[in-house]
């Protein structure tokens, strides 16, 4: 049983790393961003409420996101643990999670601010399998895993990215202190190759 949180600013590599580590540990990746994007494209009631916040780079209200996560961690495939990618993002969400289940490790992926904008503005996503790439490594616009035609996320435009970074600093960064105070935090240097970051994370989660 291993309940892990990946913390970090937009573009830190939470999605990239949680996909890899999820396969390695055979526990699901729970990305609230991916869940919300699916809800938006299916026009569910949650998606309709969330869209305007996401387009503006603001956080979706806590009640909506906490309900989503509560239902998800209750599913069968989570019984041996899970990786939360992009949740919690506020102290209220962290408190709600603490009431739901134990947290074993919080991995804080640290990347200097000036790197983040370049990473995010070059990001391309696979609509079929959810993999994230960068234009510099995948200029042909095809997914390396399944061949899907890559697209750019709506909220990856520069204006919105700057607001997402501001929102991260104001609302999510306090969680670093929150989890450090509870003895759960491990910070890894995310400004390395994808492979090296994966190794650092593997060491961090095995050190329990």
Residues that bind ligand AP5 (CB under 6 A): 8, 10-16, 32-33, 36, 53-54, 57-60, 65, 86-87, 89, 93, 119-120, 122-123, 132-134, 155, 164, 192-194, 197
Contacts of 55 by beta carbon, 8 Å cutoff, 6+ apart: 154, 155, 160
Least distance between Mg ion and beta carbon 22 (Å): 13
Nearer to Mg ion, 15 or 190 (CB): 15
- 177 to each of 57, 85, 90, 152, 172, how far by Cα in Å? 23, 18, 12, 33, 10
Instruction: Find the binder of Mg ion among 8, 9, 11, 15 (CB under 5 A).
Output: 15
Residue 146, interface with Zn ion (CB under 5 A)? yes
Spatial distance between the Cα atoms of 152 and 127, rounded to a whole number of angstroms:
10
Spatial distance between the Cα atoms of 93 and 87, rounded to a whole number of angstroms:
8
From 37, 119, 123, 124, active-site residue: 123
Stretch that binds Zn ion, among 5-13, 79-87, 118-126, 155-163 (CB under 5 A): 118-126
Q: Which residues does the annotation mark as catalytic?
A: 14, 89, 123, 153, 164
């Amino acid at each position: 049983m291993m309940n892990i949180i990946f913390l970090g600013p937009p573009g830190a590599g939470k999605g990239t790393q949680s996909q890899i580590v999820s396969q390695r540990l055979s526990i699901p990746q729970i990305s609230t961003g991916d869940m919300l994007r699916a809800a938006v494209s299916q026009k569910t009631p949650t998606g309709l409420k969330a869209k305007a916040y996401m387009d503006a780079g603001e956080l979706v209200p806590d009640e909506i996101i906490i309900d989503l996560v509560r239902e998800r961690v209750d599913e069968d495939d989570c019984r041996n643990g899970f990786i939360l990618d992009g949740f919690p993002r506020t102290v209220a969400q962290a408190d709600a999670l603490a009431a739901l289940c134990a947290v074993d490790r919080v991995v804080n992926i640290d990347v200097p601010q000036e790197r983040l904008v370049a990473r995010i503005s070059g990001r391309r996503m696979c609509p079929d399998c959810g993999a994230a790439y960068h234009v510099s490594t995948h200029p042909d616009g095809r997914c390396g895993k399944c061949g899907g035609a890559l697209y750019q996320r709506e909220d990856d435009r520069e204006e919105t990215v700057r607001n997402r970074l501001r929102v991260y600093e104001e609302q999510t960064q306090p969680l670093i202190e929150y989890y450090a105070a509870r003895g759960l935090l491990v910070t890894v240097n995310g400004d390395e190759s994808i492979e090296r970051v994966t190794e650092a994370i593997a060491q961090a989660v095995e050190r329990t």
